[in-house]
Amino acid sequence: MTAPLKHFASVTVDVALGDRAYDIVIGRDELASLGTRVAALRPGVRTAIVTDRTVAKHWLEPTEASLAAAGVPTARIIVEEGEGSKSYATLSQVSEALIAAKIERNDLVIALGGGVVGDLAGFAAAILRRGVDFVQVPTSLLAQVDSSVGGKTGINSPQGKNLIGAFHQPVLVIADTSVLDTLSPRQFRAGYAEVAKYGILGDEAFFAWLEKNHADVFSGSAAREHAIATSCRAKAGVVSRDERETGERALLNLGHTFGHALEAATGFSDRLFHGEGVSVGMVLAAQFSAQLGMISPDDATRIERHLSAVGLPTRLQDIAGFAQEGLADADALLALMAQDKKVKRGKLTFILLEAVGRAVIANNVEPAPVRDFLQGKLAKH
């Protein structure tokens, strides 16, 4: 493990993708540098900022001011907050607004917001005029450590999460850690699940560090920047080796096969934030791995204990409205998993664990053992 960053120091992580490589700039108050960086990256560029109503209240004017100070003209496009905006209707709204703003192929779309805005704006950029570049300015912890990096963009289908989309890499990511100060505790916790994920799937030493230092990550000390930078380095390394998820990158989906099904079952609503679904999903993946004899029960318990200690849900019964149709039905959850993007010829793919810090891709998982496992978990109170 590297030593934690000194507070207020910024760090740059390179996503090594050849001529499409880009920087992730991490540090407090980095938003102010956006205009200068954009002007240097694309002299004479026009921009359009896509954001949601809540983020706009806090960060739209500072973002516009940074661009204006660098002589970069911009337009604003504001959507509703929440997973419901990752829809065909909102994609159409954003696309038409970008055309109306006269954003051309050599211009830039700026995604200012959490994972929803980043996915939505990135997908709109990918299909606008057959491809316009974009910049990610993630404003949630989840977006800073996960969804803003790697080029996955898209919207949800009523049949499942992120089923409509494209790989479209940003040209720059600005992760200003000071914007996280405006997140609610629940939003920050949800993002923390993705931080813990990097330790659980591939870095036991980082997970052990989180077990000791998670309070400092939450309080906003230098530990926060260290956790974000470590997470971004981990993801950047995987993306540079497997951009389009033909192999290793699938490991980043630890907890997501279960988690996405739970999100769909709750109607992509605020009953279950994405990171909360991932938290429950990682615990289920660990417990399923233990049931298969791949990981020790003690390791599975260790994962559950840490996620629970920071206030994240770890059981199906922790989800709001658990008794409602869909969540308490193993067959219904299995049907939602069958729509997962990693399904091949009807067989499920899971990311399972051999130890804390060692995840593996399990292809061709038969549905029956998963159904039995879920039924056992649903029977517990």
Q: Are 80 and 52 in contact (CB under 8 A)?
A: yes
82 is in an annotated binding site: yes
- Of 42, 260, 302, 342, the active-site residue reads 260
Give catalytic status of residue 226 as yes or no: no
Residue 275 annotated as binding site: no
Question: Is 117 known to sit in a ligand binding site?
Answer: yes
Give the rounded distance of the alpha carbon of 293 from its chain centre. 29
Q: 321: annotated binding-site residue?
A: no
Out of 130, 345, 380, 381, which one is annotated catalytic?
A: 130
Residue 347 bears catalytic tag:
no
For residue 306, say whether it is annotated as part of any ligand binding site: no
Cα–Cα distance for residue pair 160/370, rounded to 1 Å:
19
**80 noted as active-site residue:** no
Phi, psi for residue 167 in degrees, rounded to 5: -80, 120
Considering the candidates 214, 226, 235, 377, report the single residue annotated as catalytic.
235
Burial 243-252 (b: 16+ CB within 10 A, else e): bebeeebbbb
What is the bridge-based pairing of β-strands 133-138 and 108-113?
A: parallel
With the CA atoms of 208, 209, 215 and 218 taken in that order, what torsion angle do they form, in degrees rounded to the nearest 10?
A: -110
- Considering the candidates 30, 64, 194, 304, report the single residue annotated as catalytic: 194
115 annotated among ligand-binding-site residues: yes
| Residue 28 bears catalytic tag | no
- Neighbouring residues of 182: CB distance < 8 A, sequence distance ≥ 6: 58, 59, 139
Residue 161 in marked binding region? yes
Rounded CA gap, 176 and 141, in Å? Answer: 10
- 214 given a catalytic annotation: no
User: Which of the following is catalytic: 76, 233, 249, 341?
Assistant: 249
Of the candidates 28, 76, 152, 197, the residue annotated as catalytic is: 152
Active site residue 363: no
Phi, psi at 243, each rounded to 5°: -60, -40
Say whether 86 counts as a known binding-site residue. yes
Has 347 been labeled as part of a binding site? Answer: no
Would the annotation count 116 as a binding residue?
yes
Q: What Å distances lie between residue 85 and 142, 163, 213, 323, CA to CA?
A: 17, 14, 35, 26
Binding residue per annotation — 381? no
CB 191 within 8 A of CB 142: yes
Tokens representing 9 are 């120091």
255 is in an annotated binding site: no
274 annotated ligand binder: yes
Q: Annotated catalytic residue: which of 224, 233, 256, 302?
A: 256
Q: Please tell me which residue in 30, 214, 253, 341 is annotated as part of the active site.
A: 253
Residue 257 to residue 280: CA distance in whole angstroms: 11
Residue 271 falls in the annotated catalytic set: no
- Alpha-carbon span 316 to 318, nearest angstrom: 5
Is 325 labeled as ligand-binding?
no
Binding site for Zn(2+): which residues?
Answer: 194, 256, 274
Binding site for NAD(+): which residues?
Answer: 81-86, 115-119, 139-140, 152, 161
Q: Which residues are catalytic?
A: 130, 152, 194, 235, 245, 249, 253, 256, 260, 274
Binding site: which residues?
Answer: 81-86, 115-119, 139-140, 152, 161, 194, 256, 274
